[in-house]
Amino acid sequence: MPRDTLTGSRIRERRTILGLKQADLARQAGISASYLNLIEHNRRRIGGKLLLDLAEILKVEPSMLTEGAEAALIASLREAASTTRGSTAELDRVDEFAGRFPGWARLLAEARVRIETLERSVETLSDRLAHDPQLAEALHEMLSTVTAIRSAASILNEPEAIDPEWQRRFHRNIHEDSARLAESSRSLVSYLDAEVKAASESGTPQEEVTALFEAQGYHFPGLEGGQAPEAAAAQLEEDLSDSARVLLRRALRTYAEDAAALPLPQVLEAVSAEGADPLALLRRFGCDAARAMRRLAALPADAACGPVGLAICDASGALTFRKPLPEFPIPRFGADCPLWPLFPALSRPMTVLSRRVQFAGRQGGAVRAFAVAQPASAPQANRDPIFEAHMMFTPEGAARGGEETELVGVTCRICARAACPARREPSLLGDAAERSA
């Protein structure tokens, strides 16, 4: 069912939640009860002032009545259905389900995320058991010690008489090896306990750091005031795994360097005058484009430029930082859309790309995206640079004169864009897209 035909159902569900009678709502909106009945049964379209009046009476944003649940929630439900083998979920009615039962929809989406997190934890632990050098070294030490103890014990068990001095040496060796084995066992158990806890909570060290940045609102007042990155990390890293602590300290050092180069008061003054434009910051402060994008994404929530999202990837295309926006969700798992400006920027180093981007199949929700690829480290003689790409994005209204809007997806599996040349797998959004792809 098309999303714009579900407005009436959402009005009815919201009225029921508030305990309003149909006649009472019609009277407050200045329409007849019979006309409201037609609207609620999706037999009359609604818009303009009447939609605004009903939204005000029902105490919701008009977009919640016209668009219903966020696209990210609907995408999560579609993804949940796609990952369940033999699923019989009615994918063509997922919008209706999310609009009529948002609580249940969020519960299912959160359950799917939890399941995927647990699956990733199992994969992480399995990989660690197979490839972790510290674990391999600990197991090798334990096996060597056990072998030494067994050898000494077998010699003492021989029927021939052994010189008392040699007996004392063997007993001393067994005692020392046993003590070393006990210490190695305790260290191994502590190491596995710490890693299991970190894996069960966040899956990977990168996800631990991402969760911490999200909890802080991607803004660190202490670093803005000159606090040392190491001191800030010491206050935040208590519950992180060792690997995540390394990543956190690296990220905070970059944040502190950005804050020192582009002080917060001057940046806030610049965005008040020119908005979230990384090129304007570049011209004003003489910094590189990537630093300007990171700085804009680290502003406080009440900054005049509004919300700013950010995605960073390495030369392989793997995301190393993500700050999504409602208009531009970034999936935690799976491959992202190769049409995002973030990835074409890797093939055009040092060129700032500016695009108006919108997710296919969504009404509204366009963003202005800037992307650039720059060397990730200082140049070295006779070495090719390793590039890192940044993409900053902000909500945008109507298209500028003559500018086209590029349609992209979240991932191929839940992308509604037909005949996409970059599609890796068929879409779940209907046969029409697949036939024309």
Report the C-alpha gap between 82 and 93 in whole angstroms: 14
Q: Provide mean pLDDT across the span 108-116.
A: 80
- By residue count, the chain amounts to 437
Report the C-alpha gap between 51 and 278 in whole angstroms: 37
pTM given for the model: 0.58
Q: Provide mean pLDDT across the span 310-321.
A: 92
Q: Provide mean pLDDT across the span 242-266.
A: 94
Confidence of residue 204 (pLDDT cuts 50, 70, 90): confident
Of 96-100, 121-125, 192-196, 404-408, give the range with the top mean pLDDT. 404-408
Report the C-alpha gap between 281 and 289 in whole angstroms: 8
Q: Provide mean pLDDT across the span 337-348.
A: 93
8 A C-beta contact, residue 363 and residue 3: yes
Structure tokens at 353: 């790309």
Structure tokens at 170: 């063997």
Asked whether residue 432 carries a pLDDT value surpassing 50, the answer given is no
Confidence of residue 7 (pLDDT cuts 50, 70, 90): confident
Using DSSP, state whether 314 is helix, strand or coil.
Answer: coil
Asked whether residue 197 carries a pLDDT value surpassing 60, the answer given is no
Confidence of residue 203 (pLDDT cuts 50, 70, 90): low
Asked whether residue 1 carries a pLDDT value surpassing 50, the answer given is no
Asked whether residue 67 carries a pLDDT value surpassing 70, the answer given is no
Asked whether residue 69 carries a pLDDT value surpassing 90, the answer given is no
Higher pLDDT, 176 or 428: 176
Report the C-alpha gap between 414 and 76 in whole angstroms: 9
Asked whether residue 61 carries a pLDDT value surpassing 90, the answer given is no
| Predicted local confidence at residue 285, as pLDDT | 93
- pLDDT, averaged across the chain: 82
8 A C-beta contact, residue 281 and residue 295: yes
Alpha helices in 61-163 (DSSP H): 62-66, 71-82, 94-100, 102-131, 133-156
Report the C-alpha gap between 97 and 109 in whole angstroms: 12
Count of CB atoms situated within 10 Å of the CB of 4 = 15
Q: Is the dihedral of CA 339, 77, 66, 418 positive or negative?
A: positive
Beta bridge partners of 375: 387
Asked whether residue 70 carries a pLDDT value surpassing 70, the answer given is no
User: Among 5-14, 65-74, 317-326, where is mean pLDDT lowest?
Assistant: 65-74
Q: Which amino acid is at 57?
A: I
Q: Provide mean pLDDT across the span 58-68.
A: 73
Report the C-alpha gap between 296 and 293 in whole angstroms: 5
CA angle 57, 59, 63 (to 5 degrees): 105
| Predicted local confidence at residue 271, as pLDDT | 93
Cβ contacts of residue 409 below 8 Å, gap of 6+?
Answer: 337, 339, 359, 360, 415, 416, 417, 420
Q: Provide mean pLDDT across the span 292-300.
A: 96
Asked whether residue 3 carries a pLDDT value surpassing 80, the answer given is no
8 A C-beta contact, residue 256 and residue 229: yes
Structure tokens at 432: 């029409």
Q: Helices 278-285 and 289-297, interaxial angle, to 10°?
A: 120
Report the C-alpha gap between 78 and 87 in whole angstroms: 11
Q: Which amino acid is at 14?
A: R
CA 347 centroid distance within chain:
24
Higher pLDDT, 185 or 36: 36
Asked whether residue 390 carries a pLDDT value surpassing 60, the answer given is yes
Higher pLDDT, 313 or 365: 313
Structure tokens at 250: 């690296």
In Å, what is the CA distance from 216 to each residue of 200, 290, 301?
21, 21, 11
Q: Does an H or E element contain 420, and which? A: none
